[in-house]
Amino acid sequence: MVNNTRLPSIRGRLIQSLLWSSVAFGLLTALVVWLVIAHEMGELMDQELRETSEIFHNVLAAQPGFAYGASSATQHFDYEKHLIWQVVDASTGQVRSRSHKAPATALQTAPTAQVAWTADGRWRAFSSAFPQSPRHFLVVAQSRQERNEARSEVVLYTLVAALSMGLFSALWMNWRIRQELRPLATLSHDVQRYDPLHPDTAPRVEPRAELLPIEQSIADLGHRLARRIVSERAFTAHAAHALRTPVAGIDVQLALAIKEAPEPLQPRLQRAREAAGRLGRVMQALLTMFRSGVEPQRQDVDLRQLVDALAFHDMAITIHQHTRLAADPDLLAAALLNLLDNAHRFHARQVTITTLQAGAHSILRVQDDGDGCPPATWALLQQALQQQAYGDGSAMRGLGLVLADLVARAHGGQTVLPECVSGFTIELHWPAP
């Protein structure tokens, strides 16, 4: 069964890490800017107030009539009030002169030696007295709103720049990761089509220090598999020739012995002949399984012709081939041979073989009217099939279910045991071509 669970992706995890790192970098940069530059911006703006106050003071001190007269600057055009100024009479607390956007009430009633906030907390101001007129002093101020706006803009622009650089870096790293992982994807594709018996299909990766050991390991593994397959095929070819004749000879000798033996001995000889026949069928299934090779050779299978060749003449076999069945005939013959033999051993008289189509899967169902199995045994068999538990201690002690499951998995599918009221039912599922 194909596992549809989405597995973690190395590329996806790296890209996600880069994206979150970029966001965290931007936020951390903004925080640092807010904590550090905000303090420096405050000092810078205070220094600006001092310097501007000196400039205004020198200009206004040279024009006493303008500085001390009850007038304000003429509004020639609209502008942002980054800085405003006032000339205040210290004795009366009245504003004698001011910029056109400065408030009419005095921001400070007496000159101060330091930059400080006004009483209402809305202005940051610095004042200085006129030597020619000690009763008057100059106030240069900046609003809290303007100062906060300046800080916010610095933080905002820095955050936007940091996030933009982070996003650009993430996109660039994404492209670089795709480029660097491309040889790995190529290697994966090459491994899928690699046939150890054909060295020309061996993976050829791009020169990368990390992938070279993997390529060498795959080549070594393929070489060992190829040697093992060649040895097994040579063995099975020899075994097929060496074992078929003795088994056939045993069957002939037992048939003659049954005819010539006294009647009380004939049942025993008949059971011996049946056991020899079963041994021959198991041997044929195993040899067919090994001779089939690694990949199944799919072709359209005629079930009636295939089953008739298996020669189970003592059971009634009904075939319902409703759909096209594309499978390896040798592997399918090995599975059916053992499944029919299992049905015969469990006293089945009637076997029904059906082909079905369920979505994109072909289904081969074998159902008999034999003894069946208890629910507890059925559950253990189902679990053993799902876990491919074929070894010692497994519920699948017989060869039939093991071979059937191996054949189904060789076709990219699985074996299922449907619940049935009587008898035994097994289904082989595999993707249709």
Model confidence pLDDT, tens digit, residues 152-183: 777 777 777 777 777 777 788 778 778 878 88
What mean pLDDT do residues 209-216 have?
81
User: Of the segments 20-29, 68-77, 213-222, which one has the largest average pLDDT value?
Assistant: 213-222
Whether 328 and 410 have beta carbons less than 8 Å apart is answered as yes
pLDDT attached to residue 366: 93
Burial class (CB in 10 A: 0-12, 13-18, 19+), 420: middle
pLDDT attached to residue 353: 92
Residue 76 has pLDDT above 60, yes or no: no
Whether 390 and 396 have beta carbons less than 8 Å apart is answered as yes
261-290: per-residue pLDDT in tens? 888 888 888 878 877 776 676 676 666 666
Between residues 112 and 26, which one has the greater pLDDT? 112
What gap in Å lies between CA 149 and CA 121, rounded to an integer? 16
Q: How far apart are the first and last CA of the chain?
A: 16
Residue 371 has pLDDT above 60, yes or no: yes
Give 408's strand partners: none
Residue 424: how many CB atoms within 10 A of its CB? 23
What mean pLDDT do residues 85-114 have?
82
Out of 167-171, 308-312, 361-365, which region has the weakest mean confidence (pLDDT)? 308-312
What gap in Å lies between CA 317 and CA 340, rounded to an integer? 9
What gap in Å lies between CA 382 and CA 414, rounded to an integer? 11
Q: Given 3.30.470.20, 3.50.50.60, 3.30.565.10, 3.40.50.2300, which CATH number is that of 296-431?
A: 3.30.565.10
Whether 263 and 302 have beta carbons less than 8 Å apart is answered as no
Q: What percent of the chain has pLDDT over 70?
A: 75
Query: Where do the CATH 3.30.565.10 domains begin and end in the chain?
Result: 296-431
pLDDT attached to residue 8: 67
Burial class (CB in 10 A: 0-12, 13-18, 19+), 62: exposed
The CA distances from residue 21 to 11, 124, 407, in Å, are 15, 39, 49
pLDDT attached to residue 2: 42
373-429: per-residue pLDDT in tens? 888 888 888 888 887 776 666 666 666 788 888 888 888 888 888 888 888 999 999
Q: 279: part of which helix (H) or strand (E)?
A: helix 266-291
Residue 99 has pLDDT above 80, yes or no: no
What mean pLDDT do residues 27-36 have?
71
Query: Dihedral (C-alpha) 146, 147, 150, 151: value to the nearest 10 degrees?
Result: -140
What mean pLDDT do residues 239-251 have?
74
pLDDT attached to residue 57: 61
Q: Left (φ > 0), alpha (ψ -120 to 50) or beta: where does 180 sit?
A: alpha
What gap in Å lies between CA 163 and CA 24, rounded to an integer? 9
Q: In whole numbers, what is the pLDDT of the chain averaged over residues?
A: 77
pLDDT attached to residue 134: 76
Give me 37's structure tokens.
């530059």
pLDDT attached to residue 428: 92
Give me 46's structure tokens.
């205070």
Q: Look at the pTM and tell me if it is higher than 0.85.
A: no
Question: How is the beta sheet containing 424-431 ordered, strand by strand?
Answer: 316-321, 350-358, 361-368, 424-431, 414-416
Between residues 340 and 400, which one has the greater pLDDT? 340
